Structure 1
Amino acid sequence: MPIFAKQVLTPEGWRNDVRIEIAGGRILSLTPDTQPEPGDERHAILIAGMPNLHSHAFQRAMAGLTERPSAGNDNFWSWRDVMYRFTFAFEPEDIEAVAAFLYVEMLESGFTRVGEFHYLHHDRDGRAYANIAELGSRIASASTETGIALTLLPVFYAHSNFGGLPPADGQRRFVNDLDSYARLLDASRTLVSALPGSVVGIAPHSLRAATGDEIRALLSMSPEGPVHIHAAEQVKEIEDSIAYSGRRPVEWLLDEAGADGRWCFIHATHMTDAETIAMAKRGVVAGLCPVTEANLGDGFFAAGTFIDAGGAFGIGTDSNVLIGVADELRQLEYSQRLLHRARNVLSRDGRTTGRSIFERAVAGGGRALGSTSAIAAGMPADFVSLRLVFDLGFEGDTVLDSFLFGRGMAVDCVWVHGLKQVDGGRHVRREAIETRYQQAMQAMLSRI
């Protein structure tokens, strides 16, 4: 069914009275300054779907369960210990149930593609399932059921710290060697091959979990496509890296791993100005997860310096403690306001703050996930309609500012590959998926 919208944000800017025709999951044509035809589906505002470049689906089950202070200094590392214990509550069907409900929430908030940084691979005893990609297949099934586009990033995790130290017992569900990872990667490519628009990349977890030689071997397994890695999230990580190699993590990755435009550094919180600028110049995408970074007390990313050096960024929901396009982008801008004690810090090129950070996140997130999100002829039909919570006559950039900062707009409908997955703000299969999620959560909580 053709779609007619009063306002559409295209790569060339806002266009009015636009008629969109879709065929084969792609935008066949886009005609502005026209009139609707009988039978057209009508909407007020259309914007591109947002890529979610970093998710750990299983951690959605922990949301709200890690806010009790631990003994001593409660920080990222104490949170990580709780997370490790929580992983042993999952059966394969629980992974699928939690991921499906999470993807429903993502779609309802305006995300149309997820980069699943998937590192829960094995059974509770650390042994591989008969299908080495069993848990990855559960992620793919959740993507299929909900309709969200998938970039699957199977994680290589072999060590507990720099220097190839043996993994800790709590990490046993994550661990692979290079041979088993090669089988996992091949199996992952097979299981998503039938999903429309799917992409498979590689993800060395971090320089703590993968040695330099292992990272080079991984790159030979995947000479093209996305490469994601956690980098410089915590001060301790910087200190350990310097103690081991004499270099900071981002410095090492740029110099020794040849990180370039197909790489995404997740978090990249603690960098020098020189590293920040070098990362931007090399084309590495910054994978920012502002809500999780605030929840874990990570610190502040040098966003202004990075953008001014030509850097590209996208947003992710990481630990999935809260799901929302507007929440992530608002937290990103507000973190910079707190850091610099100023307003509209990330606005560039004369655009409003909402327009500036929204478009940058769409473009950078798409690059990081091996995809493109844009309302233009030939592009995948992945877009979002907004409904006016308060009809104040907002137009153009004020629409995005209201969506991100004023709550004057809300997600109404979401299409992925031309199929409407969210209607009236609610996923079309939410009820059954939510029921299954609740049952899985009750079973898991009884095992903890």
Structure 2
Amino acid sequence: MTQPKHSLFAQHAYLPDGWRRNVLFEWDAAGMLTSVAPDTAVAPRGVEQAAGPLLPGMPNLHSHAFQRAMAGLTEYRANATDNFWSWRDLMYRFAARISPDVLGAVAQWLYIEMLKAGYTSVCEFHYVHHTPDGHRYTNPAEMAQRVVEAASTSGIGMTMLPVLYQYSGFGSRAPREDQQRFINSPDSLLDLLGALRTARPESNAIRYGVAPHSLRAVSEQSLHALLGGIHASAPVHIHIAEQTAEVDACVETEGARPVQWLLDRFDVDSRWCLVHATHVDANETLALARSGAVAGLCLTTEANLGDGIFPAQDYLDANGRIGVGSDSHIGVDWRAELRLLEYGQRLTRRQRNVLASARATYVADRLFDAALDGGAQATGRAVGALQAGRRADWLVLDPDHSSIAEHAPNAWLSGVVFCEHGETPIRDVYAGGVKVVENRRHRDEEGAYARYRVALADLLK
């Protein structure tokens, strides 16, 4: 039987070769694009017409959903040398209070915020596995399943990445008491992954991978064991070189800088995403670019935590791949991530339009394309472009928004990324061919926000 087709006509759409006019989109019941036809002479009768220009939906390659509930609650000086590590202590105390019901409500609201911002996919780096006293739930995948269900209910596509977390520091240091909810082994993590796949098999909306938390939290042996238990194409994400103290400790205990240590011992390739990679030297920058892995940049979180500045110009000029994520969710907006990526380089170099190139003179266009490509690669899913064979994920811009109104198409992305005027210029959002956001409102916004507020009140009482 022929699958039913769905269609949409857009006067302007951003395709892999740039802005095109009069584009007819068709997709199937599974939410996959089957045809993208620019320069269609006339919109077919009865076909819905988009309210404005179309952009591909942006993948969010790094998220800790539970941290959305603590955004704004750590903006005070905890000690005389407040930094990432003191923030982490506060985060651990917060994580200790999260229940399955609370996590589900927080995650659903977060994913609605992502969709409204134009993120249509998320890579969830999930590490709150156990009860507060460190015991397994009856269903060992209880917490992870709540997050997967939240993604499905909201409509966002997901790559679920359960985290392997064994140690509190380099040299296989014993876990701290406040890390007991995270601690597991390669075997227990693989069992959790199997339970997730049984409950909700992989599809174009859900993919599974793994996330060794960081080199300080796993050993070389356990990382080999983990990788040996998953499919050779499964995504692998890892925190790395986020803080200078982490780099120093790795050099002291392992005899090498973190990124170089990893590249020397593992087959790091296109299925890997190295999250942050902030503190890489010149040799690591080139080696990471050559590996084909994605550098997962989370600029709002990195700025909030005082992490440092990634060497973006050198890395991109070496054809390195990047994507962006909202991480701790102090902000949930890919436009802000791209803006901060460029602005960090401007402040460091005291120049403008640093991340433009000879082939891409518009900074926003270059960074948008790079984040789409790298983000899609990091998800391990067919997303990130408006073309046949990809998921029908896109966002519709408001053509009357003051950041783009009266501008020519070649300036639209610049206005979207670099201008901050009033409400979001993103009007509608489709995920898997379903309009989940219409006129800046999610289909379940009121109910999800009410549940989020109840969950937050429970956490903060």
Question: Normalising by structure 1, what TM-score?
Answer: 0.97
Task: Give the match for residue 101 of structure 1.
Answer: 109
Q: Is the 8 A contact 2:204 2:391 kept in 1?
A: no
Counterpart of 1:314 (choices 319, 323, 334) is 323
Task: Give the match for residue 183 of structure 1.
Answer: 191
Task: Give the match for residue 9 of structure 2.
Answer: 4
Task: Give the match for residue 396 of structure 1.
Answer: 409
Counterpart of 2:136 (choices 128, 133, 142) is 128
Task: Give the match for residue 332 of structure 1.
Answer: 341
Deviation beyond 6 Å, 4+ runs, structure 1:
none
SS in 2 for 1:375: coil
Counterpart of 2:440 (choices 419, 425, 435) is 425
Q: Is the 8 A contact 2:126 2:163 kept in 1?
A: yes
Partner amino acid, structure 1, of 2:280:
M
Once the two structures are superposed, the pairs formed by residues 142-291 of structure 1 within 5 Å of their partners are: 142-193=150-201, 196-222=204-230, 223-291=232-300
Task: Give the match for residue 361 of structure 2.
Answer: 351
Q: Provide Cα deviations, 1:27-60, integer angstroms capped at 9, x if missing partner.
A: 2222222222333222220010000000000000
Q: Provide Cα deviations, 1:377-400, integer angstroms capped at 9, x if missing partner.
A: 222101111113126322323111
Task: Give the match for residue 42 of structure 1.
Answer: 49
Structure 1: distance between partners of 2:385 and 2:275: 23
Determine whether 1:292 maps to 2:301.
Answer: yes
Determine whether 1:405 maps to 2:418.
Answer: yes
SS in 2 for 1:2: strand
Counterpart of 1:379 (choices 381, 390, 393) is 390
CA shift for structure 1 position 344: 0.9
CA shift for structure 1 position 195: 5.4
Counterpart of 1:26 (choices 8, 26, 32) is 32
C-alpha RMSD over aligned residues: 1.3
Structure 2: distance between partners of 1:356 and 1:63: 30
Which one is further off, 67-76 or 371-380? 371-380
Structure 2: distance between partners of 1:402 and 1:182: 45
Aligned-pair identity (%)? 44
SS in 1 for 2:168: coil
Structure 2: distance between partners of 1:273 and 1:300: 14
Q: Provide Cα deviations, 1:356-390, integer angstroms capped at 9, x if missing partner.
A: 10010000000011023211122210111111312
CA shift for structure 1 position 196: 4.1
Partner amino acid, structure 2, of 1:50:
M
- Where structure 1 has 5 or more consecutive residues not aligned to the other structure, the ranges are none
CA shift for structure 1 position 192: 3.2
Partner amino acid, structure 2, of 1:203:
A
Partner amino acid, structure 1, of 2:74:
T
Structure 2: distance between partners of 1:131 and 1:399: 48
Task: Give the match for residue 141 of structure 1.
Answer: 149
Structure 2: distance between partners of 1:159 and 1:403: 42
Q: Provide Cα deviations, 1:86-135, integer angstroms capped at 9, x if missing partner.
A: 01111100000000000000000000000000000000110010110000
Which one is further off, 11-20 or 238-247? 11-20
Structure 2: distance between partners of 1:219 and 1:109: 34
Q: Is the 8 A contact 1:92 1:138 kept in 2?
A: yes
Task: Give the match for residue 75 of structure 1.
Answer: 83
CA shift for structure 1 position 13: 1.5
CA shift for structure 1 position 238: 0.6
Structure 1: distance between partners of 2:340 and 2:70: 21
Q: Is the 8 A contact 1:54 1:318 kept in 2?
A: yes
Q: Provide Cα deviations, 1:401-424, integer angstroms capped at 9, x if missing partner.
A: 000112467111111111111111
Counterpart of 1:369 (choices 345, 354, 379) is 379
Question: Normalising by structure 2, what TM-score?
Answer: 0.95
Task: Give the match for residue 415 of structure 1.
Answer: 430
Structure 1: distance between partners of 2:333 and 2:48: 26
Q: Is the 8 A contact 1:113 1:150 kept in 2?
A: yes
Determine whether 1:110 maps to 2:95.
Answer: no
Partner amino acid, structure 1, of 2:405:
L
Determine whether 1:441 maps to 2:456.
Answer: yes
Q: Is the 8 A contact 1:140 1:191 kept in 2?
A: no
CA shift for structure 1 position 194: 5.8
Task: Give the match for residue 3 of structure 2.
Answer: none
CA shift for structure 1 position 428: 0.9
Structure 1: distance between partners of 2:390 and 2:100: 35
Partner amino acid, structure 1, of 2:179:
Q
Partner amino acid, structure 1, of 2:15:
T
Q: Provide Cα deviations, 1:276-317, integer angstroms capped at 9, x if missing partner.
A: 000000111100000000000000000111111110000000
Task: Give the match for residue 51 of structure 1.
Answer: 59
SS in 1 for 2:53: strand
SS in 1 for 2:398: strand
SS in 1 for 2:428: strand
CA shift for structure 1 position 225: 1.4
Which one is further off, 243-252 or 384-393? 384-393
Structure 2: distance between partners of 1:35 and 1:434: 41
CA shift for structure 1 position 258: 2.2
Q: Is the 8 A contact 1:89 1:445 kept in 2?
A: no
Q: Is the 8 A contact 1:19 1:35 kept in 2?
A: no
CA shift for structure 1 position 178: 2.4
Q: Is the 8 A contact 2:202 2:208 kept in 1?
A: no
Q: Is the 8 A contact 1:202 1:226 kept in 2?
A: yes
Q: Provide Cα deviations, 1:322-352, integer angstroms capped at 9, x if missing partner.
A: 1111111111111111111111111121331
